[in-house]
Amino acid sequence: MREVGIPHPRLSLPEPGQRDVPQAFLAWLSDAIPMVEHLGIHEMRWEGESLVLELSLVPNLNDKGTGFGGGLTAQTTLLGWCWTTLWLRERGYARDVVVAEATQRFLAPVTGDYRLTCAPESVQGPERLDERLASRGRGRIGLVQQLWCDDTLCLEAHGNYAVLPAA
């Protein structure tokens, strides 16, 4: 059971140049952030430079029988945090990541199981973050998250994630 004010132990870093196994990272994340196990996440995987979550709608229903905006917003924020954290871990960084700014635009109701994708807003974003980490020990990256029900884009979110300096 997690305790307030006590950080969760970090997951050991993968071998240099290797990616975490997303499902193993998700299992650790469910321990680190207790809410995660209640979000309806079935799968986490990489598709190129995009991190993808497959989710069930049932845990996120609102009073109208569609997706609850607050829960969907939490999921987009979490996915951006995961993308940034996993990207850092692949490069040998065990750093704290925080969301600095986030916006959402709801485009259509979420009426069934769905997938969330997350990728850099700019192709140069990861390279710029890498340069800032090397020169300043901290940095930020802009990410875009999209929620899809089949072929319908229901939600688009933008987040700015800050990588904090090493402790």
Domain 22-163, CATH: 3.10.129.10
Q: Is the pLDDT of residue 6 over 80?
A: yes
pTM: 0.95
3-state secondary structure 119-141: EECCCCHHHHHHHHHHHHCCEEE
| H or E element in which residue 117 lies | strand 114-120
pLDDT in tens, 113-130: 999 999 999 999 999 999
- The model's pLDDT over 39-96, given as tens digits with 9 standing for 90+, comes to 999 999 999 999 999 999 999 999 999 999 999 999 999 999 999 999 999 999 999 9
Q: Which helix (H) or strand (E) holds 144?
A: strand 139-149
**What residues does each domain of the chain span?**
22-163
Q: How far apart are CA 166 and CA 4, in angstroms?
A: 22
